[in-house]
Structures are given as structure tokens and as C-alpha cells.
Amino acid sequence: MAPVVTLHEVEEGVAQITLVDRENKNMFSEQLVRELITVFGKVNGNERYRAVVLTGYDTYFALGGTKAGLLSICDGIGSFNVTNFYSLALECDIPVISAMQGHGVGGGFAMGLFADFVVLSRESVYTTNFMRYGFTPGMGATYIVPKRLGYSLGHELLLNARNYRGADLEKRGVPFPVLPRKEVLPHAYEIARDLAAKPRLSLVTLKRHLVRDIRRELPDVIERELEMHGITFHHDDVRRRIEQLFL
């Protein structure tokens, strides 16, 4: 089976993690999740790396849960919180830059927002579309989306579940670079290059300090999201929406 997550060193001190699950368009398949956890473990274990770029392929960054995965939660079999893979960028020892050159959907968008730096594409779609299917958001989205985008815009995304182009979010004043798709990855490399010029120990120490509160508060948020899933996820209407609306 060909790998769907790759790791390579772009230049000295800079690692790149690329999601390339073309069959599933970078949805959170079991293989993608498993390999993503493994690759981040390799990054943390490699003293050469001082920054890491997380990106996707073509027009896809990450598209969130698979249809089968969502239906398993409906049936009370699965849970989005089995591995906490969505917060790997937050837990990574070194700074992570999410180069979201492609669409970021649901948990895929939330995963990108857990990075230390975010770069968006003007052409791509970003959405927290959980409520479109009738269930409340998970994967830490209720915390990280308002924290990174601001209270008003974050709550708007979470509640209305609409699609927003990067250009739309740029007009709304998101605090990230929003660039033409072809410029997203080069800009992420510039950020990573600046970071890689610093001592690794200092980067690790400062990141640990900067994200300390998020790491401490996130488990309680996840617990409350799971409680909401227990209320909202198991209705027939949710299953019907997943079956009919999931592309």
C-alpha cells in the first residue's frame, strides 16, 4: 500500500509533511491518520528539525472525516477522539506551519488551525461544516476556530457551517497571510527558514510556553464536545443528512 503521508527535509532544519491521500481526497481515512501520527513522531524524534511545514496536494489540504467514519459515530461505534491526531501540530515539539494551499473542511480546517503559523489560499474553501450534517462540531473546533479567527467570525463559521473562500476570510480580517495558491507553500518555506535559523532548544522551550494554556484547556473542551455529540449525533436526521449530503 502506497504511503499517503510523506516526510522529507526541504532544506537544513526544515521538514515537510505532505498529505497525499488521492483516493480519499485527504479525508481522515484510517491510513492517513495512522501515518500522520507516525510521521509527527519521527519529526519529534529528529534533532535536526527546527520547523515543520504541513501541507496537502493540488487543491486539497484536509477534508475531515470520511462518510464511513461519521456513520460509525452515528451508530455509537466510533469517536473522533480515539487518537487526538487533529492536535498533532499543537503537540509537536517544534513550530508547525500549516500551508493550507487547498480546501480545509471540518476537522481538516480545525487541524490546520492548531499549527503555530497558518497560511491560507485565496482560491480555496474553508469551512467548519459539522452543523450542515446536523451534529455539533468536534476535534477541538469549538475552541480553536474562535481562538484563531476571533469570537464573532469563529462563531459564525461554527453555527452557519457555510463555505468561505480564503479571499472572503481575508476581507473579514483573518490574522493570517491569504495568498494565491501558488504562493502559499513558498511563503511557508520563508517562515520555516526564519525559524530554522534559531537554536532548536530555544524554539522548543518558547513553543512549550506559548501553547501551554491551549494544551491545558483542550482536554476539557474535547470532553464537552463529546458530551454534545452524545446529544446530537445519534438522531435519524443526522444519518439522513450524512447519507444525502456527503459527497
Just list the catalytic residues. Answer: 229
Q: Which grid cell is 2?
A: 502506497
φ/ψ of 156, rounded to 5, equals -60, -50
Contact 28, 62 (CB under 8 A): yes
Strands, E, within 174-232: which ranges?
178-179
> Residue 180, CB half-sphere, CA atoms under 13 Å: how many?
2
**Alpha-carbon distances of 2 from 18, 60, 102, rounded to whole Å:** 14, 18, 22
Query: Which residues partner with 104 through β-bridges?
Result: 62, 126
**How far is 95 from 229, CA to CA, in rounded Å?**
31
